[in-house]
């Protein structure tokens, strides 16, 4: 049984991200977190969304699934349901998760599915060259909003709180050690965890730059914040002059979805079927 180590996590492909992209910091933090957690490699699955963020599928050697834009969350839930012994992590962008996949995001929070959702929140559609995304600031001019964005942005932390997610955190890609610790906590939480990571897109987002974040962010725990009060978390999630990072809210008592399914109480679904299943026979049932 191999555990995930920094060397075994590498593929032969070096990232194609733009120099200075926040994705590098998150990539480093993920590798460090997985190495330190020492999860056996066959007990972790990562589901990647589509985007610059999802392209990490090529740069991490793990058991994984590169899914469709906005559809990574339900695939992760399916994997967890099929074998609830696995740790399941989703990696996607603000476009895929809070735009195309918004309904799946809310459903995962409500269901307390035991997966970790890590969102590279760069407030733009990076891969398709900088169109406005659901988290883009109102008024910003982009290639899809040449006269300025009309809509208000969504607030991922507030959305997760209102949908009763059981673990909600935020981090900043430029602080790799802090992001590493947040990823470790999110993965070790039993139940749904959202880690929204501020990720500067140095090519297309000229507003939310590294410098901009570094002037605004502070760590919740540095101000004695406790993460057990949704009302306080809500107020802080709406702060704009300063931007808190850290653990906004945690409910360790919330029972995850798979533990409420009687069918899975004895053993994982995969162990309830013969090891060799004839796909022909399975498909035949639908003929």
Q: Which lies closer to ligand TPP via its Cβ, residue 51 or residue 246?
A: 51
Q: Is 17 in the site for ligand SF4 (CB under 6 A)?
A: yes
Q: Give the per-residue contact string, 49-68, with ligand SF4 (x = CB under 6 A; - = no).
A: ---x----------------
How many residues bind ligand SF4 (CB under 6 A)? The answer is 11
Which H/E stretch holds residue 102?
helix 102-111
Q: Give the per-residue contact string, 61-80, with ligand TPP (x = CB under 6 A; - = no).
A: --------xx----------
Whether residue 66 contacts residue 91, with contact meaning beta carbons closer than 8 Å, is answered with: no
Q: Give the per-residue contact string, 208-237, with ligand SF4 (x = CB under 6 A; - = no).
A: ------------------------------
**Can you tell me whether residue 18 is helix, strand or coil?**
coil
Q: Is 136 in the site for ligand SF4 (CB under 6 A)?
A: no
Per the DSSP assignment, residues forming a β-bridge with 171 are 197
Closest CA to 125 of 184, 192, 203: 203
Choose the stretch contacting ligand SF4; rule: CB under 6 A; options: 15-23, 163-171, 235-243, 273-281. 15-23
List the single partner that 100 binds among ligand SF4, ligand TPP, none, CB under 5 to 8 Å by kind: ligand TPP
**CA end-to-end span of the chain:** 40
Query: Of residues 9, 50, 75, 176, which one binds ligand TPP by CB under 6 A?
Result: 50
Q: Which lies closer to ligand TPP via its Cβ, residue 70 or residue 169?
A: 70
Measured distance CA(73)–CA(91) in Å, rounded: 9
Query: Of residues 17, 24, 48, 125, which one binds ligand TPP by CB under 6 A?
Result: 125
Measured distance CA(167)–CA(268) in Å, rounded: 24
Site for ligand SF4 in 190-209 (CB under 6 A): 201-204
Q: Which lies closer to ligand TPP via its Cβ, residue 125 or residue 257?
A: 125
Q: Give the per-residue contact string, 182-221, with ligand TPP (x = CB under 6 A; - = no).
A: ----------------------------------------
Parallel, antiparallel or unpaired: strands 167-172 and 193-198: parallel
Choose the stretch contacting ligand TPP; rule: CB under 6 A; options: 127-135, 227-235, 257-265, 277-285. 127-135
* Dihedral sign, Cα of residue 84, residue 89, residue 95, residue 97: positive
Choose the stretch contacting ligand SF4; rule: CB under 6 A; options: 14-22, 108-116, 255-263, 275-283. 14-22
Enter the tokens of residue 54. 């999802």
CA distances from 198 to 4, 150, 160, 168, 244 (A): 26, 22, 16, 14, 11
> Residues of 98-136 as b/e, b for ≥16 C-beta within 10 angstroms?
bbbbbebbbbbbebbbbbbbbbbbbbbbbbbebebbbbb
- Cβ–Cβ contacts within 10 Å for residue 9, how many? 18
Instruction: List contacts with ligand TPP (CB under 6 A).
Output: 50-53, 69-70, 93-96, 100, 120, 122, 124-128, 133
Instruction: List contacts with ligand SF4 (CB under 6 A).
Output: 17-18, 21, 23, 52, 122, 126, 201-204
């Amino acid at each position: 049984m191999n555990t995930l180590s920094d060397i075994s996590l590498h593929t032969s492909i070096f990232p194609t991200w733009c120099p200075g992209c926040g994705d590098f910091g998150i990539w480093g933090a993920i590798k460090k977190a997985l190495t330190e957690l020492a999860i056996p490699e066959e007990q972790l699955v990562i589901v990647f969304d589509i985007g610059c963020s999802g392209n990490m599928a090529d740069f991490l050697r793990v058991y994984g699934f590169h899914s469709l834009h906005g559809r990574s969350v339900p695939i992760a839930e399916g994997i967890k349901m099929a074998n609830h012994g696995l740790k399941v992590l989703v990696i996607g962008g603000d476009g895929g998760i809070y735009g195309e996949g918004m309904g799946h995001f809310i459903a995962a929070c409500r269901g307390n599915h035991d997966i970790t959702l890590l969102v590279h929140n760069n407030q733009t559609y990076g891969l398709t060259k900088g169109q406005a995304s659901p988290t883009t600031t109102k008024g910003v001019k982009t290639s899809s909003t040449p006269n300025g964005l009309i809509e208000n942005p969504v607030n991922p932390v507030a959305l997760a709180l209102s949908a009763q997610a059981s673990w909600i955190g935020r981090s900043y890609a430029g602080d790799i050690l802090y992001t590493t610790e947040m990823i470790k906590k999110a993965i070790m939480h039993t139940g749904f965890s959202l880690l929204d990571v501020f990720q500067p897109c140095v090519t297309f987002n000229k507003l939310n730059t590294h410098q901009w974040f570094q002037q605004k962010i502070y760590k919740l725990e540095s101000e004695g914040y406790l993460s057990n009060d949704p009302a306080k978390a809500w107020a802080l999630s709406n702060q704009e002059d300063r931007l808190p990072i850290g653990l906004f809210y945690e409910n360790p008592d919330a029972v995850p979805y798979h533990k409420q399914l009687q069918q899975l109480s004895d053993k994982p679904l995969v162990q309830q079927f013969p090891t060799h299943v004839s796909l022909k026979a399975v498909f035949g049932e639908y003929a």
